[in-house]
Chain A
């Protein structure tokens, strides 16, 4: 920062400019230092944030991979001390419970989403608000509801009770994702369909839903990912089962339950089962999340 030297000492305007510039240069230096420090802290925080996130993935992979074997995926639980056990019963349970919950909540959620997308007014606003609120309900509260509603009423733990609880968690997510996706469809598409004489049902089925499909699929995959990872509702509804159980009206096993129960075990082999199941669950959930993005971007590109 050089000032023009030009007999400056005698000219009041230049003198004033020189003083402003010297003050500004000091202030600028200080502000630059502050800026460097603060920006540095931002970078530091970025690093601090990345460390635990990487650490979780790293540990789960390192400790879970040794558990993965053919037996792990094909055999059921065995008592402590007996080798060769696996989590096949938990995999079956997780898939069945997830499938039942998805099969029930996707149609209901999409139809509710259609309703909300097509309606304005107080009723729709209240329902929208309830859905938003339900997505924030702690999952343990939904778990105790699942116990009272299904287990107590039907006299036993079951995979269906678990699917019910998971479904309640998934439903509002699909509703809101569906509504957002459907609202994102340009109005002129459905208006054109109406002009051609189609009724609302036909329009919805043949025009709106297909157009909203990327957003819907994204929302559904994310809801499934969330549903599969929930543990608290399952703890109170499905009881657990050491044996393979295809019948959802009976107690079943599930991956989150296996992880939770084996986390606080003193036996090293049971702990390893927990890590292996954790790795499996994490991989499945990540695939669903990544898959939802991939599907969304592929379908978006195709639309254009």
Chain B
């Protein structure tokens, strides 16, 4: 009798300590998942509840008004929304070509033996804490920008009207560049992964047709990895949009719409982190509203990114199955 094999639904004799029946086991898992769901709901509800007084006091359009002046009860978020978009735009304008070029190099151009260490090095840098980037940006880059980079750019590109104003170092441009450095490892890592798994047959086919190396890359590899690249791009954008401390340290914290790329500016995260501790009443509620706006933007971008990345890996898996 003791040698009989226990059926899965049998009594609690075998299994020792963890003699949970399947029902209890599934119940336990469901309970834990319910805890996660409860936390997420608690999170969303808290933000909405805290932000509601601002909406009821100020109406709905306060988000896009352009004056932030707590003394006169004005909490327009437009300067910060624009600041968030502008710093992210600067970062991505730099990150897309440079990230793509770097990823292509790592996937196809760099000698095989160097690829693993270089790729690992780039990926490890994605883990460096953002506050370290902020410190480096403020102490090392800001003087560099003020003394050399900004005067140079103003002399070369001043005709565009984007480079008015004094060279202060801190401002939109520096914040955008710091964000670029921060999202670069993410972009390179994801791009390299998707570029490297473009089916060999397509690559070799193009080479056989006489395409130059660049033509292979441009017309076969990159288009073949298109969805994954978009996914990596949106993921990096999501990270740039939500970055707080590195930006707050180098952006100059000016709550106005920037009129020049060198102006001090502010973003939604920098607004929240600078003012949260001392805000009360409607201002505090407005900051929660800013947090909600930021959440909606970040979630939307991240959701798009996930969908794109997942569809790529599914497509890659399907393709490899099809070929095999």
Contact = CB atoms under 8 A, between A and B. Distances in A.
Are A and B in direct contact (Cβ within 8 Å)?
Answer: yes
Interface of A: 28, 31-32, 34-36, 38-39, 41-46, 48-49, 52-53, 55-57, 59-60, 63, 108, 111-112, 114-116, 118, 127, 129-145, 147-149, 168, 171, 175, 194, 196-202, 204-205, 222, 225-226, 228-232, 235-236, 256, 259-260, 263-264, 271, 274-275, 278, 281-282, 285-286, 288-290, 293
Give the residue among A48, A53, A114, A230 with the most B Cβ atoms within 10 A: A53
B75 to A, nearest CB: 15
A53 B301 CA distance: 26
Kindly list the 4 A-B residue pairs having the minimum CB-CB distance in the complex, ordered from nearest.
Answer: A136-B302, A138-B242, A45-B101, A229-B129
A249 to B, nearest CB: 20
Contacts of A228: 129
Given A197-B8, A282-B129, A132 B306 contact: yes
A263 B134 contact: yes
Contact of A141 (B10, B47, B184, B238): B47
Nearest to A175: B36
25 contacts: A38-B218, A45-B100, A45-B101, A46-B105, A49-B122, A55-B140, A56-B128, A60-B135, A108-B35, A138-B295, A139-B242, A140-B244, A140-B269, A140-B273, A141-B294, A144-B47, A144-B287, A200-B20, A200-B22, A201-B20, A204-B25, A236-B277, A263-B134, A263-B135, A282-B132
A28 B213 CA distance: 12
Contacts of B202: none
Given A235-B273, A236-B277, A278-B131, A49 B98 contact: yes
Q: For the complex, would chain B's binding face be called helix, strand, loop or mixed by DSSP majority?
A: helix
Give the residue among A45, A138, A232 with the most B Cβ atoms within 10 A: A138
Interface of B: 5-8, 10, 14-15, 18-22, 24-26, 28-30, 32-33, 35-37, 39-40, 42-43, 46-47, 50, 97-102, 104-106, 109-110, 120-125, 127-136, 138-140, 181, 184-185, 188, 210, 212-215, 217-218, 235, 238, 241-245, 249, 269, 272-273, 276-277, 287-288, 291, 294-295, 298-299, 301-303, 305-306
Nearest to A38: B214
Contacts of A199: 8, 15, 19-22, 25
A278 B128 CA distance: 10
A132 B129 contact: no
Contact of A53 (B19, B22, B184, B277): B184
Contacts of B139: 63, 263, 271
Given A137-B299, A197-B5, A289 B127 contact: yes
A256 B8 contact: no
Q: For the complex, would chain A's binding face be called helix, strand, loop or mixed by DSSP majority?
A: helix
A34 B214 contact: yes
Contacts of B181: 52-53, 56
Nearest to B31: A111
Nearest to B212: A35
Contacts of A286: 124, 127-128
B244 A202 contact: no
A198 B127 CA distance: 40
A137 B298 contact: yes
Give the residue among B122, B272, B301 with the most A Cβ atoms within 10 A: B272
Contacts of A34: 212, 214
A38 B37 CA distance: 49
A60 B136 CA distance: 7
A147 B278 CA distance: 13
B10 to A, nearest CB: 8
A259 to B, nearest CB: 5
B272 A144 contact: yes
A158 to B, nearest CB: 16
A53 B122 contact: yes
A285 B298 CA distance: 25
Given A108-B32, A138-B269, 11 more contacts: A31-B214, A112-B29, A118-B29, A136-B303, A141-B294, A143-B276, A168-B43, A200-B26, A201-B20, A201-B21, A229-B127
Contact of A140 (B35, B43, B291): B291
Contacts of B295: 137-138, 141
Nearest to B8: A199
